[in-house]
Chains A and B, each alone.
Chain A
Amino acid sequence: MHLILFVLFAGLCLAGAINLLLQSHPINSALSLIVVMTSLAVLYLLLGAEFLAAAQVIVYAGAIMVLFTFVVMLLNAGREERTLGSRAARAVGFPAVVVILSVIATVILKAQGLGTASLSDGITSTEELSAVLFTKLLLPFEVTSVLILIAILGAVALARHGDGERTAGK
């Protein structure tokens, strides 16, 4: 049962990702990305990470992608023009992708003590997750929060900067 669901949603995820690249209309690409995000959530669920799955749907598929579609709608972006693409990019790009993927694969395969994850009925409850997050991983967790805070402050500063110039120009 788990395997069937895994194959189904992994396939959906890949199909969404390929469709994302092939579509020429930005809104279709954004929708394919939503399909990718939601199928990833199902894969998390199959691995027993229920909170992560829900957070994936709420944050990525629900909030961030709404913002994407919002911007696409607001700018009313039109169709992308199909070009033949640059030959240099093609010559360098494909080998580069292969090299990067093989490097990542070797690193992961060589790494020791990663632990295993399997498709099973076992579920990591939200309490266990938060206990680890607030004891063992407290520092990385807080540092990430500060990082996000800095990004927010940066966005506000940029927005205010533009505003100041406009009032100065008047």
Chain B
Amino acid sequence: MTILQFFLWSLLKVAVVTVVMLLGVAYTVLLERKLVGRIQNRWGPSRVGPFGLLQPLVDGAKSFLKEDIIPTAVYRPLYLLAPIIALGCALISIAVVPFGDPNVGPDGLHLFQISDVNIGLLVILGITSIGVYGIALAGWSSNNKYSLLGSLRSSAQLISYELALGLSLVGVVLRAQSLNLRVIVESQASRGILTWNIFGGLQFIAFFIYLMAAYAETNRSPFDLPEAESELTAGYHTEYSSMKFAMFFMAEYANMITVGCVATLLFLGGWTSPFGNLIPLPQNIVLQALLPIFWFVLKVFSFLFLYVWVRGTLPRFRYDQLMSFGWRYLLPLAILNIVGTSLWLAYR
């Protein structure tokens, strides 16, 4: 494959994945509004289009058309840079996620993954850790006490939970003996649900830690203290309006989707079928290519569903509870999990 071909294919893949990701973000927002509505015994959006399905488009148009206010006291360069960092980092990390059978497509080219990197897992962690600056700088440059408090909380929370998140993934990496996301998925593929890391791999503690840390990392309820509206107005994005606010909003949901993808890849067997080889593969080549994507999307969807369910059910933590939970329970538990997994792998 020549460089030009590679370049064109990559461009195509990036374009398609970005569009799908943004659509996914829009409809995750709708899913959340609908579900939380049902949990609170009301309908949620139902006016625009059938079942309110066109609501995200209208919301997008509204954000575009709103007046874009930049307060006079902000520190302009960073105020403008912050939403770009937040959304950019949220969208980039999907580049290493394989969301379908990698052997499909012309030779040497993975049709369902933008780039196959040896250290894919670390790339995702690295990009997420850079994404913190979006929130931190937004709060600081807004020159507003609520924003500053929100972003201080968020930075402290992210630093604390990043450790537990990273350590919870070590068990999975130990089992797969690779940081390549494709290899990690293939290591759990042999017997369907029985060899998934969460069940057969005995990594359910790691999964629990990952789940908690991921909620904190994406600033979602019950860890959504950076934007606790009852005390901080809107937290770090108080001073943002119009599309800049929408960018933070999209970044949050894009991060949710990425976290769901990582959980699927590491713990739930990625694109492989939960039935293993029990059900024979369909003969049709198109179906063969699309079935893995169906499983992948289904797993990510159930993760997003869980996200919304938790938000609709649990109250917010207090800040000191958040910190002590992260440092005193999750972190030691993650270290114990690593020790246990290593011992088990060594003396198996």
Q: Given contacts A58-B122, A62-B130, is CB(A73)–CB(B139) below 8 Å?
A: yes
B129 / chain A contacts, CB cutoff of 8 Å: 57-58, 61-63, 66
A76 / chain B contacts, CB cutoff of 8 Å: 148
Is B336 at the interface (CB under 8 A from chain A)?
no
- Of all chain A residues, which has the CB nearest B118? A50
Is A105 at the interface (CB under 8 A from chain B)?
no
Expressed in whole angstroms, the minimum distance between the Cβ of B179 and any Cβ of chain A is 6
Is A156 at the interface (CB under 8 A from chain B)?
no
- Mask: chain A, 52-69; 1 = CB below 8 Å from B; 0 = not: 001101100111001101
Q: Which interface residue of A51, A67, A69, A127 has the most chain B CB atoms within 10 A?
A: A69
Identify the stretch in B60-68, B152-160, B294-302 within 8 Å (CB) of chain A at 4 or more residues.
Answer: B152-160
Is A34 at the interface (CB under 8 A from chain B)?
yes
Expressed in whole angstroms, the minimum distance between the Cβ of A12 and any Cβ of chain B is 15
The contact size tier of chain A is 20 to 34
Q: With A and B bound together, what is the CA distance between A54 and B166 in angstroms?
A: 13
Is B48 at the interface (CB under 8 A from chain A)?
no
Which residues 116-147 of B sit at the A interface, judged by CB distance below 8 A? 118-119, 122-123, 125-126, 129-130, 132-133, 136-137, 139-140
Is B252 at the interface (CB under 8 A from chain A)?
no
A27 / chain B contacts, CB cutoff of 8 Å: 78, 137, 140
B133 / chain A contacts, CB cutoff of 8 Å: 31, 34, 66, 69
Q: Are B155 and A70 in contact (CB under 8 A)?
A: yes
Is B162 at the interface (CB under 8 A from chain A)?
yes
Which residues 37-83 of A sit at the B interface, judged by CB distance below 8 A? 38, 50-51, 54-55, 57-58, 61-63, 66-67, 69-70, 73-74, 76
Is A151 at the interface (CB under 8 A from chain B)?
no
B113 / chain A contacts, CB cutoff of 8 Å: none
Q: Are A51 and B140 in contact (CB under 8 A)?
A: no
Q: Are A66 and B155 in contact (CB under 8 A)?
A: yes
Q: Are A58 and B125 in contact (CB under 8 A)?
A: yes
Q: Are B119 and A70 in contact (CB under 8 A)?
A: no
Is B151 at the interface (CB under 8 A from chain A)?
yes
- Of all chain B residues, which has the CB nearest A58? B126
- Interface majority SS on B: helix, strand, loop or mixed? helix
Is A120 at the interface (CB under 8 A from chain B)?
no
Is A24 at the interface (CB under 8 A from chain B)?
no
Which residues 160-217 of B sit at the A interface, judged by CB distance below 8 A? 162, 166, 177, 179
A102 / chain B contacts, CB cutoff of 8 Å: none
Q: Per a CB cutoff under 8 Å, which of A38, A54, A63, A70 touches B162?
A: A63
Q: With A and B bound together, what is the CA distance between A70 and B158 in angstroms?
A: 11
- Mask: chain A, 17-34; 1 = CB below 8 Å from B; 0 = not: 000000000010001001
Q: Are B151 and A73 in contact (CB under 8 A)?
A: yes
Q: With A and B bound together, what is the CA distance between A38 and B85 in angstroms?
A: 14
Q: Which interface residue of A61, A62, A73 has the most chain B CB atoms within 10 A?
A: A62
Is A125 at the interface (CB under 8 A from chain B)?
yes
B118 / chain A contacts, CB cutoff of 8 Å: 50, 123, 125-126
Q: Per a CB cutoff under 8 Å, which of A62, A66, A123 touches B126?
A: A62
B119 / chain A contacts, CB cutoff of 8 Å: 50-51, 54, 126
A55 / chain B contacts, CB cutoff of 8 Å: 122
Expressed in whole angstroms, the minimum distance between the Cβ of A163 and any Cβ of chain B is 16
Q: With A and B bound together, what is the CA distance between A63 and B165 in angstroms?
A: 13
Expressed in whole angstroms, the minimum distance between the Cβ of A140 and any Cβ of chain B is 22
- Of all chain A residues, which has the CB nearest B123? A54
A126 / chain B contacts, CB cutoff of 8 Å: 118-119, 179
List 4 other contacts, CB 8 Å, given A57-B129, A62-B132.
Answer: A27-B140, A58-B129, A62-B125, A69-B133
- The 19 listed contacts between A and B (C-beta, < 8 Å) are A27-B78, A31-B133, A51-B119, A54-B125, A54-B126, A57-B129, A58-B126, A62-B132, A66-B133, A69-B133, A69-B155, A70-B159, A73-B136, A73-B140, A73-B148, A73-B155, A123-B118, A126-B118, A127-B177
10 pairs of A and B residues whose beta carbons are closest in the complex:
A62-B129, A54-B122, A57-B126, A73-B140, A58-B126, A70-B155, A54-B119, A50-B119, A66-B132, A58-B129
